[in-house]
A = this chain, B = another copy of it.
Amino acid sequence: MTAVAVDVALLAIDAGRLTVLLVEPEPPALAGTWSLPGRRVRDDESLDATALRALGELAGIERPTVLLEQLRTYGEPTRDPRARVVSVAYLALAGSPLHPSPAPRAVVADAAEVLTWPAERFAYDHAAIVADAIERVRSRLEYTALATALLPAPFTLGELRRVHEAVWGGPLDPANFRRKVLATPGFVVPADGPAVAGPAGGRPARRYVPGGATRLHPAMLRDR
C-alpha cells in the first residue's frame, strides 16, 4: 500500500540572504544527509494541516507562515527505497528569520549555497524539492506583492529591494526598482513618520507599508 506524506520547504529572508530550513532524516540509514521536514498524512487531516504539523514537530516552528502553498507531488516508485511513499511537497515562507528548536536537529542554510550541493547530500529526492521551492519563490516575486510580507512594516524601498536581490541573487538598479515599485498600483503606500537612514548611513529613506495588492500589474520581471 502506498503511503502519503507531506514535505515542506520553509524559506525566509535572513540578513539579506534567502535561507531554507533543513532537518536530519529520522531513519538511521540516512545519517549524514539533510532533508526537509515531512510527516505522514493522518486519515482525518488536510494536506495543509500536515505541512504545519511537520514544521511544528520537527523544527519547533509554530508561527503561522506568510505563504503556504503546494509545489508538486513526487511519486516515483523508487524515491524512498524502504517503501512506496507519495510525497506532496509544500512551499512555506516565513515573515522573519527562522529560529528552529535545536532539540530535533534542524539548521538554517543559505539557499544559494544549498543549490550547489550534489543531490547525494540530501535524503530521498529532496534536492529537487528544494530547487523547485526556490524557483517558485523567485517566480512569485515577479507577479505578486509577496516581498512586502517578508519584511516588518514599515520598510524602506532599499530594504524591499534587498529582498528581491536576495531571492533573485543579483544586484538591481535602485532608481529603476524604485520607479517600478511606485508605478505599480497597490504595491506599497507611504507611511507617515520620519525618514530613517540605514546601518551604512546614507540619505534617510522614506518608509512604506504594504499596499494591499496581491497581484502586480505590471509585473516586476527579473532578468533571464
Q: List chain A positions with a Cβ less than 8 A from chain B.
A: 1-4, 41, 43-47, 70, 72-73, 75-77, 84, 86, 88, 217, 224
Contacts and interface: CB of A to CB of B under 8 A. Distances in A.
Copies in the complex: 2
Pairs of residues from A and B, 4 with the lowest C-beta to C-beta distance, nearest first: A47-B75, A73-B73, A73-B88, A4-B86
Contacts of A76: 46
B41 A86 contact: yes
A224 B217 CA distance: 10
Given A1-B43, A47-B75, 20 more contacts: A1-B1, A2-B4, A2-B41, A4-B75, A4-B86, A43-B77, A45-B77, A46-B75, A46-B76, A46-B77, A47-B73, A47-B86, A70-B72, A72-B72, A72-B73, A73-B73, A73-B88, A75-B88, A86-B86, A217-B224
